[in-house]
Structure formats: structure tokens, C-alpha cells
Structure 1
């Protein structure tokens, strides 16, 4: 099994538009494990299109509980179950993840009970283990180690950057965060840094289309990073490659890859990938 990162959903925020990208989700294949990172709308379809059989679902990590990162957690696991999942899935998420899963089970109780009785499926609740994590070491399993760093994403307190180390590779995901200098130390020397990014000149576009103008703008500026901020972290950390993800705006034709590259290359001279749905990056 090759070590790869597949970007399944690359837009920031929960809204979707015709022909546009999906909210945040990724598939990391590392140390023989298939690891889903965040479960925004479209993750199930994205995994299938990436060639993964959902019944092979193994590990899931949720960085925080905003809907564009967790909305399809329950539906993903349920869909995997209807595809033939019969082994344990472990979900690592911040405080509150257990309640999200319990609420999903309650909402689909009729369907789940009917399928167990009518189709002979195993008990879905018994197949899933939720582990709520905080800062520090999250998982050590043979050749795979996962560490979490609390980042700055107000008003969300429990939002975590994640570092995966395995097969001689280090991959860091910023999660959603305002510019956060400790992230440079956390990602020091990483092979790959996946960092959220906004274009300053694109904010007017996203605010105009989404509505709630001044309040939305205040949130975006206080809680997220511009592409140049991501570049600064990547440069300070000396990472091998910077991948821009959770793009804002991601679906405005007025802004192209050239805009993102121009914002980054002034600060970071290393390898740069501008995220798009379905992109596979070899590690």
C-alpha cells in the first residue's frame, strides 16, 4: 500500500455550489492504514471515487466540531456499514464527538434497528469506538504516531492540528486556525504541511455570496489564516511541501491557482500544491 494523501474536499465553510468543491475531508494512507481526516459533506462519495471500499474504513480523525468538518461522520460510518463493514472503526475527535455520534444513532434508530433485523447486519453501535482527545500524544500503534496541538480558532476551543508520523514520513494538518506561531515548531522539518488558506482579495466575494457580511468577515479574519500566513509557517518550519487546503474562496472563477501561488511564493520558496478535490499526493 503506497503512502499517499488524497484531498477529498478542499473548500472552507459548509456551503456548496453547482460545480464547486466539497467541504473538508482527506484520506491519508500511511503505515498500512487508511486514515480519514475530517468528514465534511461529500466524504463518503469522495472516498469511493478515490477507489476505497467503504467497508475498509479503519481510522477517523476529527479536528473540531464545525459542521464542515463533522457533518458526514455519522452518514459515512452508516454507509460503510451498509456496504459490509463488520470490524471496529475507531474515531478520534475532540470533546463532544461522542455526543455527535450518539445523536446520529438516535436519529437513525428506526433504520438501524430495521436493517439489523431484516438484513442480518451487526449492531452498528458496537462497531464504533469514540476516543475523545486533547493536546499531546493521541495514538501510538506500531509504526504510526499521532500528536495533537491545540490551535487558535475562536470561538472553538477544542480545535487541533494533527501530526502523523509513520513510514519515515511526517505529515502535519493545521486544522482551522488563525496565524499560530507554535504551529511552526509543531511542524518542524515535516515532509508535508497541509494548511488552511484565504485570499484577502477574495473575502468580499465570499461575504457577498454567503450573507451576514460584517459578522462573517470578522469571524474569517479572527479565526483563519491568509495564504501568506500559511507560507510563513511553512518557511519557519522548513517543511518539504506546503499544501493549501480549506480554501476561501474555493469556488470563485475570478481567483485562480496563480493568485494562490503569488500569495505564497513571496514568503515560501519550497514545493507548493494548491488543493483541489480528488488530488492525490505521493508521500
Structure 2
């Protein structure tokens, strides 16, 4: 599991600060999460292949989270894309994007598929044999979702020494990896636990931006390996958080602590602050394992 932060600042882009966008690689799948202005430039800087992006998740329809999407969709067209592109986002995203395409007479030459969201409870919106993605309802000024990415439990690993010791034919290996016991010719039943090792624990990543402090999030992100939670403000500007429906670093850390997550990554910083280290220092008064997002920063959780 690998996270590349393309942008992590609030509101408007600046010369050295990009609005929200990130790429999560999980089980060899590449997911783009939010798409603020400058996303495709940041993708190129991070040397991420455009052709690997087939699923884009948009949290909400504020410009700093999706104004880069029309440009990226158009660039895919110019690059001759043929494969499907799936867009997951709030109801209205299809209308917004197709208006751009209509006015510019620039319809895609590849299948562009929208999955519009309106539910106020968590729901699975993507799944395959390796990964599932669910929504995390957030509390913001407009309809907003976070996203929970989870690996499925993998196959059990063969204990080769045990399997060969029982002289089990290779044709049974897949059944064994699927968790089945084996009956030998003698009639003895060998339990699967004797023939296999547990698979690696599935990894999980939760993206929560933008949102006010909300304890409702806690059960939905409980125990995740990594939580990305917005921290727009420091405690000195805490009075602004309820008005704008954003959170402080301490509030993000409170969610991380109560949810017993493995690591907290802070992002969506207001550009009013000169030092991001202040966010980390404040959060660590509540929760120890804190890291800071930054444009172009990579996190490897393998």
C-alpha cells in the first residue's frame, strides 16, 4: 500500500501549494482521490502513469477538490485513451463535467462512467477480488464523503514442508490455499492449519477531508492502518472550525485516538500558517503516531 500526496492544502492553489489530490496504490490498483487544480501536473511530477488511473473518487463539489477533473478527463482524450474511466462522486458531478464537455464540443472517445452518490450512510461503491471501497459520510457545508479502502483477506500461504511431508499432490494446492482440509489415502484428515500459514493482515486506508469534528466517523474508521484526516486549523483558530465545517489538528488526533488507528496523516492545511510542524506538535499531545502530508510526499506502508 502506497500513498502519493499530490496536493494537501485548503482553498486556493498557490505557487508552492496545491489543493487536495492524492493517489493510493493498493494491490496493484491505482485510485485517484479528489482532483484539485494542478492534479495532472502533479501526476507528471510524481511520474505516475495516467493510463493506470481507472477509478477517481471525488469527496465533494467544492472547487479545490474537483476543478482539476475536467482538464484531466480532456487530457485522457488527447492521449488516445480507450479504456473505461469511472468517476465516483456526489449527485451533480455528471452534470458539471458533461457541461464542460458539451460547451467545448470535446466528448470523450472512451467510456466515461459516473457513479453518483447521495446516501447518508456508508455504502460499498467499488469492489473486486482484491479491494473494496466504501463511503464515509462527513460533516461539511455541502454533501461530502470520505472513502475507506480495504484489502480483502488473501489466500492462505502453503507450508511447503508440511505439504511435501504428507506427499500431497499438487492438484490439491489451490484447495488448501482456499482453506480446505485434506483427506489422505489412509483416511487421515489433515487440518488446513497444519498445511498453511495465515495470509498477511489486510491493509486499510481512510480518507476524511473535508469535515468538521464528528464522532460519528469513529466506528467507520475504527482500527484502520492509516487515517488521513483534515486539519485545516490550529487551536489558535479553533473558533473558525465550526463556522467553516472544518477541523483542527487536535480534533483530528482525537478521532485517531478514539478509533485506535495505526497512523494519522494530517492534511488540508490553511495556508495562513508558516510552519506545518505546529500541526504535528498539537496533534501529538493527543495521539503519538502522526505524520504530515505535503505536496509530492510519498508514504510506503508495505
The two structures share one fold, judged by TM-score above 0.5: yes
Pick one of 118, 127, 137 that aligns with 2:111: 127
* Kept in 1: contact 2:235–2:249 (CA 8 A): no
Cα distance in 2, alignment partners of residues 82 and 99 from structure 1: 22
Give the distance between the partners of 1:85 and 1:280, measured in 2 at CA: 27
Could you say which structure has the larger radius of gyration? 2
| Alpha-carbon offset, residue 222 of structure 1 | 4.1
Structure 2: 5+ residue runs without aligned partners?
153-201
Q: Residues 40-80 of structure 1, C-alpha deviation per residue, up to 9 Å, x if partnerless?
A: 01111111111112233211000000000110111111112
**Distance 1:222-1:203 versus aligned 2 partners, 3 A rule:** same
| Aligned position for 1:8 | 6
Is 1:243–1:275's contact at 8 Å kept on the other side of the alignment?
yes
Q: 1:62 maps to what in 2?
A: 58
Counterpart secondary structure, 1:198: coil
Q: Distance in 2 between matches of 1:174 and 1:85?
A: 30
Answer yes or no: is 1:165 the counterpart of 2:187.
no
Take 1:49 and 1:40, find their aligned partners in 2: how far apart are those partners? 15
Q: How much does 1:257 deviate?
A: 3.2
Q: How does 1:1-283 map to 2 (within 5 A)?
A: 3-13=1-11, 15-18=12-15, 20-109=16-105, 112=106, 124=108, 126-133=110-117, 134=119, 135=121, 136-154=123-141, 156=142, 158-166=143-151, 168-200=202-234, 203=237, 221-249=243-271, 252-253=273-274, 256-269=275-288, 271-283=289-301
- What is the TM-score of this pair, normalised by structure 1? 0.82
Kindly provide the CA deviation profile for residues 218-248 of structure 1, in whole angstroms up to 9, marking residues without a partner as x. 5764400000000000001111110001112
- Cα distance in 2 for residues equivalent to 1:105 and 1:265: 46
2: CA distance, partners of 1:219 / 1:74: 30
TM score, norm. by length of structure 2:
0.77
Shift of the 187–10 alpha-carbon distance from structure 1 to 2, 3 Å rule, reads same
Gaps of 5+ in 1: 113-122, 205-216
Instruction: Give the number of the structure with larger relative contact order, counting CA–CA contacts within 8 Å between residues 6 or more apart.
Output: 1
SS in 1 for 2:223: coil
Conservation of the 8 A alpha-carbon contact between 2:21 and 2:34: yes
